[in-house]
Structure 1
Amino acid sequence: MADSIQLLPDHIANQIAAGEVIQRPASAVKELLENAVDAGATEIRLIINDAGKSLIQVVDNGRGMTETDARLCFERHATSKIRQIEDLFHINTMGFRGEALASVAAVAQVELRTRRPEDEIGTYIEIENSQVIRQEPCATAVGTSIAMKNLFFNVPARRNFLKSNAAEMRHIIDEFMRVSMAFPQLFFSLSHNGQQVFHLEKGSLKQRVVQLLGSQYTSRLVSVQEQTDYLNIQGFVGKPDAAKKTRGDQYFFVNNRFIRSGYLNHAVMQAYQDIIAADSFPMYVLFIDLNPEQIDVNVHPTKQEIKFEDEKIVYAFVQAAVKHALAQFSITPTLEFDIDAGIQQLDAVSKPFTEAQQTAASNSGLYQTFTKQNQAHFIEKGPAISGNNFNGTSALDFRGNETAGLKNWRDFLGPVTGKGPEVSGNSGASGFDWELPRKKWNLLEHGDLLQLQGQYIIAPTPQGYLLLHQQFAHERILYERYAAALIGKPVAAQRSLFPANLDLTPADAGLLNELIPDMALLGYLIEPFGQHSFVIQGTPADIIAGNEKSAIEHLMDQYKHFSSDIKFSRREKLIRSLANQHAIKSGTLLTQKEMRQLATDLLNCAQPNITATGSPTFIEFNSDYLSRLFSQ
């Protein structure tokens, strides 16, 4: 019987490795940018065509390579950073596995030009399908230029899985922002199809943050600076008024490497507790520097997840550092008033800070944490954090277990029923006929409606009453209205007498460009005006004049919130975002006419009982249930 096990040919092994390392154009961008940083470059240029599908090129002015190194760098597991096993535990560079260029060469046509400062002539290498097809001397600038052409040309199945150019370009911009944010002392530029997207001059971290995330943060950043024997933390957090409904502007770096950590994100969220709304997310850009021996960066192919030797210590330091920064800048809630003479006579104001009080303060755990040698070991144990709260992803939501609450509501409502308009995704439809319940309730004939706490509406029925959640009810109404608009009944747009200009970050501009055709059907008439600017020519009639810009900015924020769920199409995310944004909010007082119209519109929906996201819109209290509540 013949042997059945055989070694894979190198080009097949490289393609398998490429499946882990190069998943999309943005993956290659990340690897090439990190190599340029490791090469000691001070200027790094990224050139993209067709969202990376036809060209990804990185040009740097780093140290360059010899002819032998230039040829060897495309071999698998070829690296200049690892010599012995101990080196794995002292990694300070970005790339180290030696898989990136081999993977790139396995799935693209690659051209490399490189020259060292001490060499008069450089090296040109052309590779296709892991095979060197050309190598010769060439005249080139000091540094390295590596160009990937026709990504996945030899793996058509992988190429077919790529998203639209706008979607792939957003991923590229994300990777570019992460690398360039970590190294503000370096020049970076990004151009796409001949147009410059970013031009980032060398500067401070604050300048780089504002360049990348937008000028709205210029006066809304709080500096974080904590140095300890165990680790150092620096960077910025946003003031409470900069909090958003999405996690987008949140960045953790460990030893200048971008990481995802739901655990550390929870530490920051705890520091903001009671300062921002429960459904908001703070902005932060935080750099953690610690001994490489205390972390393992080799736990994931993309190196975006790492393991800490003692994650509880890191958690405590991050939380304390952010709290300290917020307190220093008087961000925590305070009462503002003029101090009267009586207050000035109080002991706390008039008497000095005694030695006994000073001693008590210096013996506190927080004081020792940041002042004593090896202070990491003096951290006081706080309440345990259940491991069930974390699953290792960056998309965690630590605002409580809402699913359990919704389940209880649904138990009371009975099975989720009804069938709404088919757009995409799953809005909970199962084909129930709502005609009979509508006739049974017949709200218009049974007395006045009552608003409760500016949030609920009590609508009497012959058998009892319905308790409507006004925001969720309106969301359901708008969802079905927008769904109908996208399949043939466009929302009427009201043209503006004075069109407003809208300036966005490059990432948001790319997203809006992708949404413009569908937004036109929903009443938003938006036209590109320059590279990252737009003109708002018209909006739905219910948008108050002067609020056009904020309405679209909030819509983008909400859309990115829904974008974390990949099972929904672009259109589904868009109409969910609009329904959420335009729905009347809790606390809005309604007239009798408005309440009656809301209740009527809800019961005329194809599926009135839940929102598209599964929240109940009403609960029915019938006479039998009410009788049981008061029975002995």
Structure 2
Amino acid sequence: MGIIQQLPDYIANQIAAGEVIQRPASVVKELVENAIDAEASEVKILIKDAGRTLIQVIDNGKGMSEDDAVNCFLRHATSKIKSASDLYSLQTKGFRGEALASIAAIAHVQLTTKHTENEAIGIQLNLEGGQINDKKEVVCSNGSSFDVKNLFYNVPARRNFLKSDSIEFGHIRDEFERIALAHPEIRFLLMHNGNEIHNLPSANTRKRIVDLFGRNTNEQLVPIEELTNIVKVSGFIGKPDKAKKSRGEQFLFVNNRFFKDGYFHHAISKAYEGLIPDKYYPSYFIFFEIDPSKIDVNVHPTKTEIKFEEDRFVYSILTSSVRQALGKYNVFPTLDFERDTAFDLPSDFRKNDPVEPQIKVNPLYNPFENQQGKSSGSGGNGFSKGLNKQGFGQVQQTITNWEEFYKIQELTGDEQLTLPEIEESNFSKDTTQLLFHGNYIVSPCKSGLMVIHFRRAYERILYTDIASKFIHSPLSSQSLLFPITISLHRKDLDFWNANVSLFKQLGFSGTIDNLELNIEGIPSFLSAEDTTVLIEELLKTAGQKDIEKIDVATKFIEKIAKISSRSKKIDTQEAAQHLIEELFQCEEHQYTTDGKRIVSTLAFSEIDLKF
């Protein structure tokens, strides 16, 4: 008897689910895309415990008949394509027929659906582990309702792999935003644990962007539109002065399907060259419309990787379209060749009254006068005052003088070259003179010279101090006379609300007003100028979805210490000495928290080698 056998369907579906359903966000994506393919005009997504307990997607689409409801959970069962040639003319989101079978294999699923052409009776199915346990007729409205409960209940390793609720819901929000942007004509509702997160009415693309990312986004958007025989490009790009250090608001769509592509991202970044600083990223919401036969979406089960047949041409069109949009709306710097620049003057010259130019002539100047005859500043011997003071030019030069000058005096064997001894008493704390240069403090020590990067030293001192104090009592805070207003993304504001107690412990206080964060209090050691940069850095750290909540406080303290150290100044001997003493009281004083060196010693033996 052979040892090779075909796996049962429920095992095969569990294996396939590993690629198709990676986390709760994958379930949301697949179910909402199915609702869109069913021509729904309204979709509701209800989430509980970031999808661990419940994911419910309700739509008012065409719904399914009883036979279709049963068959939709079969592997590779789909209504989207009939033959392989249909892959090159796709107009729907799904086509592989794997999602529902994979979801049913790893969760408890309830489907309630009624076809629009049926009577008043719908059908309800209950599945567990991919098997239908119960089927009955029910009274329901047109469309479909999927309830996915206890995700990964039979795959403990995968369930334990899930991150915290805030991280997992962040992924769900990302998937929601991508689908909502691609279909502004559809009304969407997103709720989490009974709280309304988004309630988006049907609108145009610009209004949908503003509804998702805040009203301040409206004035930052620059329209982009280009029509060619290869591709139609439309959408919006962000103004260069609104570029951010994070890549949060960057979206590419082809035929209303979200995808990721570093090649096209480079094309957009190239158009912004010279307009934004390094490591800053512009926002963009760009839509491609292209012949489906010229793209391949069947690259990966998640369908976020797409191959373009004419990607080089699309790259060039995209770059020129972005540049044209920036120039058209006076965002891109331009040159006016018709403007007369003959009378352009620096601003300093404009403040002065015009003066008639004068020519000064020295009537006593004699180009043939001998240098020996000059008496001004040289003593009549052709040497400067400084050289005369050292004895140059006072003795008449002879051939013997020049021979003595080039004569080499060699040391005899009895003579030895000795270095002056350096006494340790010269380096006493009371008499040591510290040297300052740039970011460094140079101090003598027993073995040589000690060089300290004082900004990194202050960063380590501040980090150690905050980490040891803020757990037991809040850091001292200073109230701002004028609050600092920062426009943020909705998920950033949610993150602020979720960690408001941590911010208070660190000395921050503020209020939220319609997607705007008003900072009213900051730590006493932090300057108001650094606050905006710090908040952006903290939220950028928060945007790293794989960071656990237990590490959030540590990351925040690191950012606070690093940014506060940028404005640190050392201008007195006392301040430098005090900084050194505080540094060496830290348990770790050699390196910063990110591994950069703070202290380096230059030994006398190394100094000797340089002479």
TM-score range, shorter chain: 0.7 to 0.9
Other-structure match for 1:143 = 143
1:578 aligns with 2:560: yes
For residues 590 and 49 of structure 1, what CA distance do their matches in structure 2 show? 53
Give the distance between the partners of 1:197 and 1:156, measured in 2 at CA: 29
Per the alignment, residue 403 of structure 2 pairs with none
Does the residue aligned with 1:569 lie in a helix, a strand or coil?
helix
User: 2:13 aligned with 1:10, yes or no?
Assistant: no
Q: Helix, strand or coil: the match of 1:18?
A: helix
- Within a 5 Å distance, the mapping from 1:183-332 to structure 2 comes to 183-332=183-332
Once the 2 structures are TM-superposed, how far is the Cα of residue 95 of structure 1 from its aligned partner? Answer: 1.4
- After superposition, what is the alpha-carbon deviation per residue over 1:144-166, rounded to whole angstroms, capped at 9, x for unaligned? 11111222222233222222222
CA distance in 2, matches of 1:324, 1:446: 63
Corresponding letter in the other structure for 1:143:
G
The match for 2:32 is 33
Is the contact made by 1:170 and 1:510 (CA closer than 8 Å) also made in structure 2? no
CA deviations 1:439-488 (Å, max 9, x no partner) are 99999964354343xxx335343577666656544444433334334665
1:73-102: CA deviation from partner (whole Å, max 9, x where unpaired): 111111111211112222232111111111
Pairwise CA distance, 1:562: 5.4
Q: Which amino acid aligns with 1:107?
A: I
Partner of 2:409: none
CA offsets per residue over residues 286-306 of structure 1, 9 Å max, x none? 222222222222222211222
Normalising to structure 1: TM-score of the pair?
0.74
Contact 1:110/1:147 (CA < 8 Å) preserved in 2?
yes
Q: Cα gap change, 1:239/1:578 in structure 2, threshold over 3 Å: closer, same or farther?
A: same
Deviations 1:478-509 (A, max 9, x none): 33334334665753345679988988543223
User: Can you list the C-alpha shifts for 1:415-452, whole angstroms capped at 9, x where unaligned?
Assistant: xxxxxxxxxxxxxxxxxxxxxxxx99999964354343
* Contact persistence 1:250–1:284 (CA under 8 A): yes
Q: Secondary structure at the match of 2:34?
A: helix
Task: Check whether the contact 1:245–1:557 (CA below 8 A) recurs between aligned residues.
Answer: no
Structure showing greater radius of gyration is: 2
Contact 2:534–2:560 (CA under 8 A) maintained in structure 1: no
Match of 2:588 in 1: 607
Rounded to whole Å, the distance in 1 between the matches of 2:466 and 2:426 is 28
Question: In the alignment, is the contact (CA less than 8 A) between 2:426 and 2:432 conserved in 1?
Answer: no
Please report how far the alpha carbon of residue 34 of structure 1 lies from its aligned counterpart in structure 2 after TM superposition.
0.9
Question: Which amino acid in structure 1 is aligned with residue 95 of structure 2?
Answer: F
After superposition, the C-alpha distances for 1:26-72 in whole angstroms (9 at most, x for unaligned) are: 11011111111111111111111121111111111112112211111
Cα distance between partner residues in 2 of 1:468 and 1:244: 33
| Aligned partner (choices 523, 526, 543) of residue 540 of structure 1 | 523
1:544 positional shift: 4.8
Matching residue's letter, 1:90? S
Name the CA distance, whole Å, in 2 between partners of 1:507 and 1:560. Answer: 10
**1:614 is matched by which residue type in structure 2?**
G
**1:478 is matched with which residue?**
462
Q: Which residue of 1 aligns with 2:436?
A: 450
In structure 2, the residue matched to 1:358 is none
**2:256 & 2:427 partners in 1: Cα distance?**
62
1:98 corresponds to:
97
Identity %: 39
2:52 partner letter: K
- 1:447/1:489 Cα in 2 relative to 1: closer, same or farther (>3 Å)? farther
Q: Distance in 1 between matches of 2:138 and 2:169?
A: 32
| Residue 558 (str. 1) matches residue 544 (str. 2) | no
SS in 1 for 2:141: coil
Q: TM-score, normalised by structure 2?
A: 0.76
Contact kept, 8 Å, 1:245 with 1:281, in 2: the verdict is yes
1:53 aligns with 2:52: yes
1:5 to 1:503, Cα distance in 2 relative to 1, 3 A: same
Runs of 5+ in structure 2 lacking a partner? 345-424
Tell me the equivalent position of 1:166: 166
Moved more, 188-197 or 551-560: 551-560
For structure 1, which segment, 73-82 or 462-471, has the greater mean C-alpha deviation from structure 2 after superposition?
462-471
> Residue 483 of structure 1 aligns to which amino acid in structure 2?
A
Asked if residue 182 in structure 1 is aligned to residue 164 in structure 2, the reply is no
CA distance in 1, matches of 2:426, 2:189: 65
Structure 1 unaligned segments of length 5 or more: list them: 345-438
Give secondary structure in 1 for the equivalent of 2:224.
strand
Deviation at 1:220, TM superposition (A): 1.1
Q: Which amino acid aligns with 2:556?
A: L
Q: Do 1:190 and 1:196's aligned partners in 2 also have CA atoms closer than 8 Å? A: yes
Q: Which moved more, 1:25-34 or 1:81-90?
A: 81-90
Q: How does 1:426-505 map to 2 (within 5 A)?
A: 446-452=432-438, 456-461=439-444, 472-485=456-469, 491-494=475-478, 505=489
Deviations 1:571-601 (A, max 9, x none): 343333333443325xx76543666655655
Amino acid at match of 1:95: G
Residues in 2 aligned to 1:110 and 1:58: alpha-carbon distance in whole angstroms: 12
Amino acid at match of 2:301: P
Distance change in 2, residues 1:449/1:200 (3 Å): farther
Q: Does structure 2 retain, via aligned residues, the 8 Å contact 1:299–1:305?
A: yes
CA contact (8 A) 1:268 1:322 kept: yes
Retained in 2: the 8 A contact 1:225–1:233?
yes
Q: 2:506 is matched by which residue type in structure 1?
A: L
Q: Which position in structure 1 is the counterpart of 2:367?
A: none
Once superposed, what is the RMSD of the aligned Cα atoms?
A: 3.6
Q: Does 1:512 align with 2:511?
A: no
Using a 3 Å threshold, how does the CA distance of structure 1 residues 562 and 150 change in structure 2: closer, same or farther?
closer
What is aligned with 1:364? none
The separation in 2 between residues aligned to 1:600 and 1:328, in whole angstroms, is: 59
C-alpha separation between the residues in 1 aligned to 2:545 and 2:55? 26
Matched residues in 2 for 1:307 and 1:77: separation? Answer: 23
Q: Distance in 1 between matches of 2:245 and 2:286?
A: 20
- Tell me the secondary structure at the aligned position of residue 218 of structure 1: helix
Shift in CA distance, 530/325, structure 1 to aligned 2, threshold 3 Å: closer
Alpha carbons 1:470, 1:584 under 8 Å: kept = no
* Cα distance in 2 for residues equivalent to 1:277 and 1:440: 48
Range moving further from structure 2, 212-221 or 175-184: 212-221
Is contact 2:109-2:146 (8 Å) kept? yes
Distance 1:54 1:315, change over 3 A: same
**Are the counterparts in 2 of residues 459 and 467 from structure 1 also a CA contact under 8 Å?**
yes
Residue 508 of structure 1 aligns with an amino acid whose one-letter code is D
Residues 39 and 64, structure 1, Cα contact 8 Å, conserved in 2: yes
What letter is aligned with 1:120?
E
Residue aligned with 1:219, SS: helix
CA distance in 2, matches of 1:440, 1:288: 74
Match of 2:499, SS state, is: helix
Following TM superposition, by how much is the alpha carbon of 1:334 offset from its aligned partner in structure 2, in angstroms? 6.4
> Conserved in 2, the CA contact under 8 Å of 1:443 and 1:459?
no
Q: Distance in 1 between matches of 2:549 and 2:494?
A: 21
Q: Determine helix, strand or coil for the equivalent of 2:219.
A: coil
